[in-house]
Copies of this chain bind each other. A is one copy, B any other.
Amino acid sequence: MTTVIEKTNVKEQAKLAQKASKELGLLSTEEKNAALNTIADHLEVRSNDILTANEADLKNGREAGYDAAYMDRLALDQDRVKDFAEGLRQVAKLEDPAGEVTDEWTLDNGLNVQTVRVPLGVIGMIYEARPNVTADATGLALKSGNAIVLKGGSSAINSNRKIVEVIKEALENTVISSDAVQFIDSTDRSATQELFTMKEHIDVLIPRGGGKLIQAVVNNATVPVLETGVGNCHIYIDEHADAKKAFAILVNAKTDRPAVCNAAETVIIHEAFLAKHKDELIDILNENNISVFGDQKAVELIPNAEAAEEDHWANEFLSLDIAMKIVSDVNEAIAHIDEYGTKHSEAIVTEDEKTAKRFKGLVDAAAIYQNASTRFTDGSALGFGAEIGISTQKLHARGPMGLPALTTIKYVMTGDGQVR
């Protein structure tokens, strides 16, 4: 297949999705829910075909020498496919944001004004290894009345192609056009880049994956982007911290799931707290196999701590490593977070309300915690039921994004001849 033909296809596919999105926006909640349940059933029935396709990806992955963590993200089994299906059934049970009248008033002249939630239209999903995103994102898009264009990672192309094939077959048995789900069946980067500028046919791009992918989309797309996920999160343990809470939060935020975006990557400790609780801290780090890359003071005080380099402050470890900075007040902590934070989740441990207020007011992030673990920045932990990602941008949606993030509003005005 030549690049020229692929280019044409991407645009044609986006147009088909756009066309399908129009009628999708008019469907009832019941019709959309029935479609999601039908897709779920088909995924379960066709799980063996999906696993066969996945085996081809795994074989390519082994030959390419991907590491164990990557292979784990890529791998499917019967249980994981059942999870896709169950996920779709859960989304079917969520409240439908589309059609909700969010505000209504009547002008003095009698003109009725409503703001109504409506689907965004066409969502472009650009993602990496995990094939579950194919099913999850499709479910959230359709439930909120949107069509979706899927561009997954090359390493999962066989799995993704088969999952989409099953989804489209399922849609043939529903009122939703199978055109509402488009799969860019290409490993060519130019196909992804084409999506970046397809403003006329795609309403929003959502990148899911590593920082490099997200930055490529943010920096090159003229289609509006919902920026998700990189979390260089900090725990600041204040002079007035309760030590028990501080250590519980530190251990949980660092070790519960080190590879996720809401895990802690740097601990900032007030020198007065450290003076009182140094030995406890050292024990806790040892017990939990946490390795420290510290500033000068930390290296002096913590056995085995190595000197932190710029990269340690600036990037996620996604492991049991942690960066450690010792400060003499909250302002120093805030300045460090300002410089290195990714506006995801930031925590202060303190019993002093004035300090907490300053931290909460001045730190610029999607989620600010006082005396709790950053791990709660998560759609399911907060009770949203499902999330399309965690927004680290400020516009449109911030923090965990549920179904409403996939909608916009429309002013609907009803009159009987009003003029100005």
> Would A111 and B394 count as touching, CB distance under 8 A?
no
Does any Cβ of B come within 8 Å of A67's Cβ? no
Whether A45 sits at the interface, judged by CB under 8 Å, is: no
| Closest-CB distance, A273 to chain B (whole angstroms) | 15
Q: Is the CB of B417 within 8 A of A382?
A: no
Residue of B nearest to A105 (CB): B383
The distance in angstroms between the C-alpha atoms of A302 and B205, with both chains bound, is 45
Q: Any chain B CB within 8 A of the CB of A282?
A: no
Residues 226-246 of A at the B interface (beta carbon under 8 Å): 226, 242, 244-245
Bound complex: CA of A171 vs CA of B212, how far in Å? 42
- A22 close to chain B: CB less than 8 A: yes
Residue-wise interface mask of A (356-372) relative to B, using a CB-CB cutoff of 8 A (1 in contact, 0 not): 00001110111111111
Whether A121 sits at the interface, judged by CB under 8 Å, is: yes
A393 CA to B224 CA, complexed, in Å = 9
State the CA gap A413–B347 with chains docked (Å).
9
B245, B252, B253, B367: the one within 8 Å of A416 (CB): B245
Please tell me if A113 contacts chain B, counting CB pairs below 8 Å. Answer: yes
The verdict on A164 contacting chain B, using a C-beta distance below 8 Å, is no
Beta-carbon contact of A361 and B25 below 8 Å: yes
Q: Give the distance to chain B from A172, nearest Cβ to Cβ, in Å.
A: 23
Interface size on A, residues (CB 8 A): 63
With A204-B394, A383-B105, A396-B395 as known contacts, state yes or no: A371 contacts B248, CB within 8 Å: no
Evaluate contact between A395 and B361: CB separation under 8 angstroms: no
Cα(A381)–Cα(B419), bound, Å: 11
Using known A-B contacts A22-B362, A26-B361, determine if residue A368 contacts B417 with beta carbons closer than 8 Å. no
Q: How far is the CB of A376 from chain B (nearest CB, A)?
A: 6
A226 and B111 alpha carbons, distance in the complex (Å): 27
A304 on the interface (CB 8 Å rule)?
no
Residue in A107, A362, A371, A419 whose Cβ sees the most chain B Cβ within 10 Å = A419
Q: Are B412 and A368 in contact (CB under 8 A)?
A: yes
Residues from chain B with a CB closer than 8 A to the CB of A97 are none
Is B368 within 8 A of A111, CB to CB?
Answer: no
**Chain B residues with CB under 8 A of A395:** 120, 204, 224, 226, 395-396, 408
Chain A 84-108, CB-CB to B under 8 Å as 1, else 0, gives 0000000000000000000001010
Nearest chain B residue, comparing its CB with the CB of A351: B416
**B contact residues around A25 at 8 Å (CB):** 361-362
What are the residues of chain B within 8 A of A416 when measuring CB–CB?
245, 371-372
Q: Does A208 reach chain B (CB closer than 8 Å)?
A: no
Which B residues are in CB contact (< 8 Å) with A251? 419
Q: A136: CB under 8 A from chain B? A: no
Residues of B close to A365: CB separation below 8 A? 410
Say yes or no for A60: interface residue by CB 8 A criterion.
no
The one of B204, B371, B394 in contact with A414, judged by C-beta atoms closer than 8 angstroms, is: B371
- Sample of 8 further A-B pairs with CB below 8 A, known A105-B383, A219-B222: A120-B395, A121-B394, A369-B415, A372-B414, A373-B418, A375-B419, A394-B408, A398-B409
